[in-house]
């Protein structure tokens, strides 16, 4: 697997090893696998997919691949290198005899304007048709997924594309639903919209299950919690659990769209439509992040035999444990 | 001017990394160029650039094949510096004019050879120096040209930028971040040198002293610090590059016998200081300075929103280069200027003491 030093990658490596797999865990040299010594079956493979290296020899031994490596942030060049170039290098080094390629994509590739308001977003939802209006992460994840699908089709490698929602857990709390902090107040955008949360360990179990579950040659599975909280509800749980959060101030989705529309009009009028709008005022990104939708995980349950094991309440308690202990 | 001269030039790009995303808006949108091909060792990177600019052009992973198939009239060479020499020669041999990102080579001797090759081929070869076309630099040149500074005596240029935070200093990657004798600093140094030369009118230095070193211990950068003093007749210069201070800045100060002027190319302002306002004029001088700062702040905000960033001089430079080629005129950056910059850069890099 690639990206084994990351937040999700380390959880996948542990889960796969616990399932009895021997995990060739590729990680960047500056992100050593602190957990490798404690878990049998994890073999660290230091390397960087942006460059040739010994990792190619290890890859030749792999029976299946979980591709989790990507640049989740940074400028366009950083994300092109860490996501697109890295994936191209990985694909050119793949053994043709691979039993399965499990690709970790993202919910961000979807067109969030496609489902009706409050409607379901699932694997049948169309992908973003105009990526250039979205952020760099979406653009590069779309390119990455397209490259993987094209390669696996050409080489007849069975492919499972996993699209996780917003992965959370200890160390990643999505600011408990807060969009912006203003002094003692937390602005909660679209307070009644559901967050597409999935706990990192639940997500990792689903991905490991995808290694051996019966699938067609190319399958897509969304991984998201069954009853994710609203932004308001997640913030409330965080406050109740003792997270250092401010007083919540709701900003309805309709008001967000109104502000976004005003910003767009200003851009059109004064900047020929080229103004660089902050995410909070950019209509396509407002829609992608806060539009009220329902998220389905029916296919994950049926095809992977997977179910959510960690409730949001327990997860929040776990996430705040270090604070409670001090 | 004939109709033929107004025809857009068939342009190709070699190297589809970050800097290609600065060149391509001009190539795609100016009307002076007709994009015909993108070339990168990574097909995915070439495809990503084509998708980003929504252009339907041929994609190549081999420069020689691209040049043979597309016969571009002008090639933008935007790949890493160590690849420039062979690519420039290939492009010239294919009959193309060339715009090459800086630094075009690692030394003045190599620059001289490439310029000679361009002359033999009868083609234009231009090393990019986009900052000369930025608003603040044009204003500085205007002030100097109008004589308001008097005789230019000093020029200080300071670049502070955390370039170790990017690929140049990324310890996950093997090998040097930049393959140049002067390491990572040399990747930026031509900007400072050509600005100094343009603002002072001085081409070469009598003496160059100072420090050119590695202060971070990150050997991938080879060199990450430069602080040198130059003396060129009556003119003094100081050029500095540092990664270990904040905020990021590209500060330029020119001091003349009558007045001084200061600007920053990252967050532009212009502070002109002539004879001090004293006596009854003192409050007026203070008020005007305040208005000037407030105005610069508003302008910066407008520039940030309008994406008028530090690279805004590049399309102007490219427009001037394309116009020179199309109209068979002398390009805005001459071989003599490129060679002078390379020679002075050599003198500075020679101070280098590896970690």
The model's pLDDT over B170-183, given as tens digits with 9 standing for 90+, comes to 999 998 889 999 99
Structural domain tally of chain B? 2
SS3 A53: coil
Are residues B156 and B297 located together in one domain of the fold? yes
Q: Would you say residue B147 lies in a domain?
A: yes
State yes or no: pLDDT of B306 exceeds 80: no
Number of alpha carbons in the 13 Å side-chain half-sphere of residue A98: 30
Are residues B116 and B156 located together in one domain of the fold? no
Can you give the pLDDT at residue B2? 46
Can you give the pLDDT at residue B286? 81
Are residues B172 and B285 located together in one domain of the fold? yes
Q: Would you say residue B101 lies in a domain?
A: yes
C-alpha separations of A225 from A146, A199, B157 in Å = 26, 8, 55
Q: Would you say residue B318 lies in a domain?
A: no
For the segment B182-211, what is each residue's pLDDT rounded down to a tens digit?
999 999 999 999 999 999 999 999 999 999
Q: Which of B111, B107, B205, B119 is nearest to B155 (CA)?
A: B205
Minimal CA separation from A137 to chain B, in Å: 13
Token match 């940030």: residue?
A: B304
| DSSP codes, A239-300 | HHHT----EEEEE-HHHHHHHHHHHHHHHHHHHTT-----GGG-HHHHHHHH---EE--HHH
DSSP 8-state code for residue A50: T
Residue B229 · residue B254 · CB < 8 Å: no
Are residues B280 and B254 located together in one domain of the fold? yes
| Interchain pair B304, A88: CB under 8 A | no
CA dihedral A145, A146, A151, A156 (to 10 degrees): 80
| Interchain pair B47, A30: CB under 8 A | no
Q: Which residues of chain A have pLDDT under 70?
A: 322-326
Cα B139 from Cα A136, distance rounded (Å): 35
Q: Would you say residue B340 lies in a domain?
A: no
Q: Which residues of A touch B173 (CB under 8 A)?
A: 48, 50-51
Are residues B86 and B178 located together in one domain of the fold? no
Instruction: Find the distance separating the first CA and the last CA of chain B, reported in whole Å.
Output: 56
Are residues B145 and B123 located together in one domain of the fold? no
B30 phi, psi to nearest 5 deg: -85, -25
What domain range includes position B76?
Answer: 9-128
**Residue of chain B with shortest Cα separation from A53:** B174
For the segment B113-147, what is each residue's pLDDT rounded down to a tens digit?
999 999 999 999 999 999 999 999 999 999 999 99
Q: Would you say residue B336 lies in a domain?
A: no
Instruction: Find the distance separating the first CA and the last CA of chain A, reported in whole Å.
Output: 36
Number of alpha carbons in the 13 Å side-chain half-sphere of residue B164: 19
A139's tokens? 């653009």
Token match 């304007």: residue?
A: A113
DSSP 8-state code for residue A126: P
Are residues B102 and B163 located together in one domain of the fold? no
Q: Would you say residue B48 lies in a domain?
A: yes
Are residues B90 and B199 located together in one domain of the fold? no
B310 phi, psi to nearest 5 deg: -65, -20
Q: Which residues pair with B251 in a beta bridge?
A: B158, B264
B196's tokens? 């100094």
Last residue of a domain, one of B112, B128, B144: B128
Q: Which residues of A touch B44 (CB under 8 A)?
A: 84-85, 87-88, 143, 147
Residue B45 · residue B79 · CB < 8 Å: no
Are residues B154 and B293 located together in one domain of the fold? yes
Can you give the pLDDT at residue A325? 39
Last residue of a domain, one of B106, B128, B150: B128
Last residue of a domain, one of B68, B97, B128: B128
Instruction: Report the residue from B166, B167, B305 with minimal CB separation from A275.
Output: B305
C-alpha separations of A207 from A58, A68, A107, A163 in Å = 21, 10, 15, 10
Can you give the pLDDT at residue B1? 43
Q: Would you say residue B338 lies in a domain?
A: no
Are residues B267 and B290 located together in one domain of the fold? yes
Whichever domain contains B153, its CATH number is 3.30.360.10
| Interchain pair A139, B54: CB under 8 A | no
Number of alpha carbons in the 13 Å side-chain half-sphere of residue A258: 7
Token match 């460059």: residue?
A: A51
Are residues B141 and B271 located together in one domain of the fold? yes
Q: Which of B166, B305, B307, B311 is most worth mutating to test chain A (most A CB atoms within 10 A of its CB)? A: B305
Provide the 10 A C-beta neighbour count for residue A278: 10
Minimal CA separation from A276 to chain B, in Å: 5
Q: How many CB pairs under 8 A join A and B?
A: 58
Q: Which residues pair with B39 in a beta bridge?
A: B14, B60
Instruction: Report the residue from B18, B47, B174 with minimal CB separation from A77.
Output: B18
| Interchain pair B44, A29: CB under 8 A | no
Instruction: Report the residue from B51, B171, B306 with minimal CB separation from A274.
Output: B306
Are residues B222 and B236 located together in one domain of the fold? yes
- State the ipTM, two decimals: 0.89
Provide the 10 A C-beta neighbour count for residue A51: 14
Can you give the pLDDT at residue A322? 63
Cα A251 from Cα A259, distance rounded (Å): 11
Mean pLDDT of chain B, nearest integer: 93
Residue B210 · residue B190 · CB < 8 Å: no
């Amino acid at each position: 697997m690639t990206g084994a030093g990351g937040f999700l990658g380390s959880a996948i490596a542990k889960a796969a090893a616990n399932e009895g797999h021997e995990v060739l865990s590729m990680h960047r040299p500056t992100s050593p696998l602190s957990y490798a010594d404690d878990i049998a079956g994890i073999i660290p493979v230091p390397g960087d997919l942006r460059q040739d290296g010994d990792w190619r020899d290890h890859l030749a031994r792999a029976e299946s691949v979980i591709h989790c490596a990507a640049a989740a942030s940074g400028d366009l060049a950083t994300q092109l290198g860490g996501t697109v170039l890295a994936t191209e290098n990985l694909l050119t080094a793949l053994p043709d005899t691979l039993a399965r390629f499990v690709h970790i994509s993202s919910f961000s590739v979807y067109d969030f304007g496609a489902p009706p308001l409050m409607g379901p977003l699932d694997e049948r939802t169309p992908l973003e048709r105009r990526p250039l209006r979205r952020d760099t992460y979406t653009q590069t994840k779309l390119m990455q997924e397209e490259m993987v699908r094209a390669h696996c089709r050409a080489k007849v490698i069975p492919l499972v594309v996993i699209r996780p929602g917003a992965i959370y857990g200890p160390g990643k709390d999505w600011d408990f639903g807060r969009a912006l902090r203003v002094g003692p107040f937390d602005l909660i955008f679209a307070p009644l919209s559901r967050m597409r949360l999935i706990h990192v360990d639940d997500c990792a179990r689903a991905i490991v299950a995808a290694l051996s579950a019966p699938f067609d040659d190319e399958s897509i599975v969304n991984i998201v919690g069954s009853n994710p909280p609203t932004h308001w509800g997640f913030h409330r749980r965080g406050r109740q659990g003792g997270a250092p959060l401010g007083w919540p101030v709701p900003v309805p989705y309709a008001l967000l769209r109104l502000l976004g529309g005003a910003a767009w009009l200003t851009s059109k009028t004064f900047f020929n439509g080229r103004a660089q709008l902050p995410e909070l005022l950019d209509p396509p990104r407002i829609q992608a992040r806060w539009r009220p939708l329902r998220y389905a995980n029916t296919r994950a349950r049926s095809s992977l035999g997977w179910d959510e094991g960690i409730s949001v309440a327990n997860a929040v308690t776990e996430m705040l444990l270090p604070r409670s202990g001090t | 001017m004939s109709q033929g001269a107004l025809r857009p030039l068939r342009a190709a790009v070699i190297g589809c990394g970050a800097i290609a995303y600065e060149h391509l808006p001009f190539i795609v949108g100016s009307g002076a160029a007709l994009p015909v091909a993108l070339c990168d060792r990574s097909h995915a990177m070439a495809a990503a650039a084509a998708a980003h600019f929504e252009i339907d052009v041929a994609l190549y992973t081999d420069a020689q094949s691209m040049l043979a198939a597309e016969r571009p009239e002008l090639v933008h060479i935007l790949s890493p510096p160590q690849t420039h020499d062979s690519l420039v020669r290939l492009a010239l041999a294919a009959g193309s004019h060339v715009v090459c990102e800086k630094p075009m080579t690692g030394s003045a001797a190599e620059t001289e050879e490439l310029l000679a090759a361009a002359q033999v081929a009868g083609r234009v070869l231009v090393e990019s120096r986009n900052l000369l076309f930025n608003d603040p630099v044009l204003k500085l040149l205007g002030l100097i040209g109008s004589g308001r500074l008097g005789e230019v005596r000093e020029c200080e240029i300071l670049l502070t930028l955390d370039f170790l935070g990017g690929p140049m200093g990324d310890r996950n990657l093997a090998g040097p971040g930049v393959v140049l004798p002067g390491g990572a600093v040399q990747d930026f140094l031509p900007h400072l040198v050509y600005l100094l030369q343009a603002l002072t009118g001085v081409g070469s230095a009598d003496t160059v002293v100072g420090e050119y070193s590695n202060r971070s211990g990150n050997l991938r950068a080879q060199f990450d610090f430069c602080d040198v003093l130059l003396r060129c007749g009556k003119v003094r210069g100081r050029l500095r590059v540092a990664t270990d201070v904040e905020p990021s800045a590209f500060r330029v100060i020119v001091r003349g016998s009558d007045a001084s002027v200061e600007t920053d190319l990252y967050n532009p302002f212009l502070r002109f200081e002539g004879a001090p306002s004293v006596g009854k004029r003192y409050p007026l001088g203070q008020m005007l300075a305040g208005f000037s700062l407030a105005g610069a702040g508003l302008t910066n905000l407008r520039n940030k929103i309008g994406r008028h960033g530090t690279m805004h001089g590049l399309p102007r430079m490219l427009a001037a280069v394309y116009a020179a080629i199309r109209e068979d005129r002398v390009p805005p950056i001459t071989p003599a200027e490129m060679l002078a910059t390379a020679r002075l850069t050599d003198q500075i890099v020679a101070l280098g003491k590896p970690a």
